[in-house]
Amino acid sequence: MEQMNLLDRIFEKYPKMSKGHKSIADFVVDHMDEATFLTAAKIGQKLGVSESTVVRFATAIGYDGFPAFQSAMADSFRSRIGQAQNETFKSERINQSNVLNSVLKLDIANIENTLGLLDATTFDAAVKMISDAEHVYVCGLRSNAPLAAFLHYYLNMVKGNAILLNTTSVSETFEQMMHISKKDVFIGISFPRYSMRTLKAMELASDRNAKVIALTDNVNSPMCLYSSCNLLAQTDSLSIIDSLVAPMSVIQALVVALCLKNKETVKNNLKLLQDTWNNYQVYINDEIDFMGEDKTLN
């Protein structure tokens, strides 16, 4: 464990932590900038646990005591700042004349590398899980929210049974998952920096015996702790903006595979949707009718 950094230690031990230790872990991961400068007593006071609980948490994840744990937090915090500065430096080296070429080439490389990361058997298993599920819960927060929204939109187009978890509160997330069961599938989407709220939602889904799918960057991602099916995608970038091109391609492949697997259902759903649009003139003032042509949904 000596070679593991602070976050690796926390995520490795997280599934077996007590309630009090999990609250400390959540605080450290989500508020590293604040936790780094607090004493054990202050952290305990802030979270409603004892100072000794905070000290025991430090030893439970492999440190000799709270001072060593606090030093590790400081190192991790400095590392995050250094990474941000490095990303800024990389972006500064790209001038206006080559930015388009550089970014698109890296996105192409991300997709090519994702092809090497993805296992076809795992992908097929994910498609079957989603296809057979009674309900599909989708969670992707912060910069991953567009991915989750895109997947949710097309899952509803294909199956009509998708639920998007879109909230800033863990308690509200759990409320939305109140009825999740072994008949359902949970899809958690998270890339560095990983979302503790998404991880906790995946833990709940796993505890309820729902099938859990993770869309993340590598097998060592904490998102894989509760997942039985890991879809991996590369998100390397030349700036502070993560590239979502490869994850979006994986999601698009999932949707296409689901359409092929549920052809009749998709056809019926699209016909129903087109009839609804026509009956209620949904797009009469919202779409451009090029040269007066009558476009129909194919």
Give the whole-angstrom CA distance, residue 267 versus residue 129.
21
Residue 97 belongs to a domain: no
What is the per-residue pLDDT for 285? 56
**Mean pLDDT throughout 194-207?**
91
Which two three-digit tokens encode residue 184?
A: 């359902």
- Let me know whether 274 and 221 are in one domain: no
Q: How far is CA 166 from CA 149, 171, 199, 220, in A?
A: 9, 12, 14, 25
Q: How far is CA 204 from CA 20, 191, 294, in A?
A: 17, 19, 48
pLDDT tens digits, one per residue of 70-89 = 888 888 777 665 554 445 44
- Let me know whether 68 and 78 are in one domain: yes
Q: Which amino acid is at 180?
A: I
- Let me know whether 16 and 83 are in one domain: yes
Question: By three-state DSSP, how is residue 139 classified?
Answer: strand
- Let me know whether 157 and 289 are in one domain: no
- Let me know whether 266 and 254 are in one domain: no
What is the per-residue pLDDT for 85? 46
Residue 109 belongs to a domain: no
Q: Which domain holds residue 68?
A: 6-92
Q: Under a CB-based contact definition with an 8 Å cutoff, are residues 246 and 111 in contact?
A: yes
Residue 106 belongs to a domain: no
Domain end, chosen from 92, 126, 159, is at 92
**Mean pLDDT throughout 257-285?**
75
Give the whole-angstrom CA distance, residue 128 versus residue 276.
29
- Let me know whether 66 and 132 are in one domain: no
Q: What is the DSSP string of 168-219?
A: S-HHHHHHHTTT--TT-EEEEE--SSPPHHHHHHHHHHHHTT-EEEEEES-T
Total residue count of the chain as it appears in this document: 298
**Mean pLDDT throughout 268-273?**
76
Which of the listed ranges 54-63, 163-172, 234-243, 289-298 does the model predict with the highest average pLDDT? 54-63
Q: Specify the CATH number for the domain of residue 87.
A: 1.10.10.10
Give the whole-angstrom CA distance, residue 263 versus residue 133.
16
Question: By three-state DSSP, how is residue 88 classified?
Answer: helix
Q: Which residues contact residue 44 at a Cβ distance below 8 angstroms, ignoring those fewer than 6 apart?
A: 50, 51, 53, 54
- Let me know whether 196 and 254 are in one domain: yes
Could you tell me the pLDDT band of residue 271, with boundaries at 50, 70 and 90? Answer: confident
- Let me know whether 152 and 196 are in one domain: yes
Residue 99 belongs to a domain: no
pLDDT value at 211 more than 90: yes
pTM, two decimals, is 0.70
Q: What domain count does the chain have?
A: 3
- Let me know whether 238 and 296 are in one domain: no
Residue 221 belongs to a domain: yes
Residue 102 belongs to a domain: no
**Mean pLDDT throughout 237-260?**
88
Question: By three-state DSSP, how is residue 254 classified?
Answer: helix
**Within 10 Å of residue 183's Cβ, how many Cβ atoms?**
12
Which two three-digit tokens encode residue 189?
A: 């989407």
Question: By three-state DSSP, how is residue 164 classified?
Answer: strand
Beta bridge partners of 164: 138
pLDDT tens digits, one per residue of 115-141 = 888 889 999 999 999 999 999 999 998
pLDDT value at 169 more than 80: no
**Mean pLDDT throughout 150-156?**
93
Q: How far is CA 255 from CA 110, 123, 125, 186, in A?
A: 20, 12, 14, 16
- Let me know whether 136 and 219 are in one domain: yes
- Let me know whether 40 and 86 are in one domain: yes
What is the per-residue pLDDT for 16? 87
pLDDT value at 90 more than 80: no
Give the whole-angstrom CA distance, residue 118 versus residue 192.
18
Residue 270 belongs to a domain: yes
pLDDT value at 258 more than 70: yes
Tell me which DSSP letter residue 122 carries: H
- Let me know whether 152 and 181 are in one domain: yes
Domain end, chosen from 39, 58, 92, is at 92
Q: What is the DSSP string of 228-240?
A: SEEEE-----SSS
Please give the distance of CA 188 from its chain centroid, rounded to a whole number. Answer: 5
Residue 35 belongs to a domain: yes
Give the whole-angstrom CA distance, residue 36 versus residue 41.
13
Could you tell me the pLDDT band of residue 180, with boundaries at 50, 70 and 90? Answer: very high
Q: Which amino acid is at 93?
A: R
Domain end, chosen from 55, 76, 92, is at 92
pLDDT value at 287 more than 90: no
Q: Specify the CATH number for the domain of residue 154.
A: 3.40.50.10490
Backbone angles phi, psi at 140, to 5 degrees: -150, 120
Beta bridge partners of 86: none
